[in-house]
Structure 1
């Protein structure tokens, strides 16, 4: 009896503090002919002061795609920038006021690239980026 009571209170308590996973990586199907490489989770607890930044080794002769998968909440826009080894911006999904759902980048030099993600105008960011590639 005590175990059932404890379990019941535990479930009620945890349901108040735990949030469901905001976005899964179920947009992999949008990669089309690109091969899946990695899911980059956007951790909303770490985006307070700086954007989410990951590094990845790109190979010359391949084209890379970054899919932006978020909750599609009005006013919450997931911005993704790709930088080369010298931190020069080489691709973005935001042009003027339009935000696109993906980026494609044909790699011309093998090396480390930086993928930066952040939310514009959002108090509760939540999403993932899906990275894929294809040989050019």
Structure 2
């Protein structure tokens, strides 16, 4: 009987520890850090929270209407200086990928897209060998 109680206590401990690891992601603070990192001349529009729930989500997606003749910048912030395998891909309204932050196997922390067609664009965050699945992002524009 003691072994069964011990197993239940141990299982409960692991469940609590698993829940605690999900709570460690704080995309709000990472998002706030991203806003001032927009390049000179870009005005802040919107921020995005990236929480891959400790690897249980393989992508997070948002949409935004982009306007023709406007340049958009999307940057990434994660724990530390690197983006930790977080990739941002931008898709046009037809779901064609127009730009990515992963280029030739290298990860960059920001992308810039000169919009040629007004419409809904999809901002998709994925994880490529990421270790923490947590980040923040900011969208800016300039004309």
Q: Where on the TM-score scale, by shorter chain, does this alignment land: which range?
A: 0.7 to 0.9
Q: Select 1:100's aligned residue among 108, 120, 126.
A: 108
Query: After the TM superposition, which parts of structure 1 deviate over 6 Å for at least 4 consecutive aligned residues?
Result: none
What is aligned with 2:33? 26
> 1:37-116 to 2 correspondence within 5 Å?
37-45=45-53, 48-72=56-80, 76-116=84-124
Distance 2:62 2:54 in 1: 13
**Is contact 1:67–1:102 with CA below 8 Å preserved after alignment?**
yes
Q: Displacement, 1:19?
A: 3.0
In the alignment, structure 2 segments of 5+ residues that lack a partner are 1-18
CA distance in 1, matches of 2:74, 2:112: 7
Structure 1: how far apart are the matches of 2:90 and 2:55?
A: 17
Aligned residue pairs total 121
Cα-Cα RMSD: 2.5
For residues 46 and 55 of structure 2, the distance between their equivalents in structure 1, rounded to whole angstroms, comes to 20
- In 1, the alpha carbon distance for the partners of 2:51 and 2:93 equals 24
Gaps in structure 1 of 5+ consecutive residues: 1-15
- The structure with the greater share of residues assigned to helix is 2
| TM-score for both structures, normalised by structure 2 | 0.74
